[in-house]
Amino acid sequence: MSNDITKKIFSRNLDKLIKKQGKTVMDLSEELGISYSTVSDWKNGKKMPRGGSLQKLSDYFGVNLSVLLEEDTDSHLRSPQEISYDEIELPLYGDVAAGALAELESVDVWDVETVKLPKLLLQKYASNDNLFAMKVNGDSMDKIIPNGSLIVVKPIEQSLYKDGDIVVFSYNGEYSLKKYRPNVMENFVIFESDSKNPDFKNIPINEEELAKEANMYGKVVLYIVSL
């Protein structure tokens, strides 16, 4: 299913829920803490919300995620056990620190946990065979990704990382989740915290150390948080 069709289905379902509960775009904006223009774009089919915002909408209206994402608008009359939709099963590779660098718990590749997610939630990434999931442990990225969130990570080539990508990386054998901030002129990279707590520090690594002591495992393409 194309992204445009997904946006149209979502916008129709959102519009029906808004009308059914006697709400307005302004109500959603104020009560969810999301800008009016963003909610308006969702309702008009111009944009799709990310995983965290989808979960907020699901909780706000008291419906299953599939009610927002599926074309079957009668799905709200059924229990979650009766609702079926295409899913993708991803390996779940333990916790990643969103704080100080920390050791990643060892993973037995023959006994790895998995997590199932709706393909509609993953959108354009659903066909990617290399995705994996992790749980966030820490608050150093809590302005964007709260502690306890489930993240979906897409491995990419080193040259494809962009300024501002949220990445899973390791340095000297320890792992963390940070924002990627390259400084090409000075030949180093800053792995930047984005936290409400000012005590969290950024991690600068020069290009030589980055090549020898660090590894980039992928960028975060989706996060899901339980409220």
- Give the CATH number for residue 67: 1.10.260.40
- Token duo for residue 137: 């442990």
Please report whether residue 56 resides in a domain.
Answer: yes
Q: Are residues 53 and 92 both part of a single domain?
A: no
Choose the final residue of a domain: 11, 42, 76: 76
**pLDDT by residue (tens digit) across 1-56?**
556 778 888 888 998 899 888 889 898 889 989 999 999 999 888 888 877 888 88
Torsion angle, CA of 94/221/55/32, rounded to 10 degrees?
120
In a domain, 179, yes or no: yes
Query: Is 82 part of any domain?
Result: no
Residue 39: CB partners within 8 Å, gap ≥ 6? 25, 28, 29, 32
Compute the distance between CA of residue 210 and CA of residue 204 in angstroms, rounded to an integer: 10
Read off the pLDDT of residues 44-54 as tens digits, 9 standing for 90 and up.
888 888 778 88
2/90: higher pLDDT: 90
Query: Would you tell me how many other CB atoms lie within 10 Å of the CB of residue 179?
Result: 20
Is residue 81 in some structural domain? no
Asked if the structure places residue 112 within a domain, the reply is yes
- Same structural domain for residues 118 and 41? no
Q: For residues 54 and 42, give the distance between their C-alpha atoms in angstroms, rounded to a whole number.
A: 11
Give the number of domains in the chain.
Answer: 2
Single residue among 17, 48, 76 that ends a domain in this structure: 76
Helices 25-32 and 36-43 pack at an angle, to 10 degrees, of 130
- Phi and psi for 128 in degrees, rounded to 5? -80, 125
Q: Are residues 45 and 153 in the same domain?
A: no
Does one domain contain both 132 and 183? yes
Cα–Cα distance for residue pair 209/185, rounded to 1 Å: 16
Helix axes 36-43, 3-20, angle to 10 degrees: 110
The amino acid at 68: L
pTM for the model: 0.61
Let me know whether 210 and 186 are in one domain. yes
Q: CA-CA distance, 172 to 50, in Å (whole number)? A: 32
* Residue 142 lies in domain: 87-224
Q: Which of 68-72, 109-113, 170-174 has the highest mean pLDDT?
A: 170-174
For residue 3, the model assigns a pLDDT of 67
Quick one: 71 and 98 in the same domain? no
Same domain, 69 and 165: no
Same domain, 125 and 65: no
Three-class DSSP category at 19: helix
Question: Kindly report the CA angle at 35 between 29 and 40, in degrees rounded to 5?
Answer: 75
Q: Is the pLDDT of residue 221 over 90?
A: yes
Asked if 94 and 184 sit in the same domain, the reply is yes
Do 102 and 195 belong together in one domain? Answer: yes
Q: Residues 131, 152: contact at Cβ < 8 Å? A: yes
Q: CATH number for the domain including 169?
A: 2.10.109.10
Same domain, residue pair 109 and 167: yes
Do the domain assignments include residue 27? yes
Query: Is the pLDDT score of 78 beyond 70?
Result: no
**Domain shared by 67 and 103, yes or no:** no
Instruction: Determine, yes or no, domain membership for 137.
Output: yes
Q: Tell me which of 48, 76, 104 is where a domain ends.
A: 76
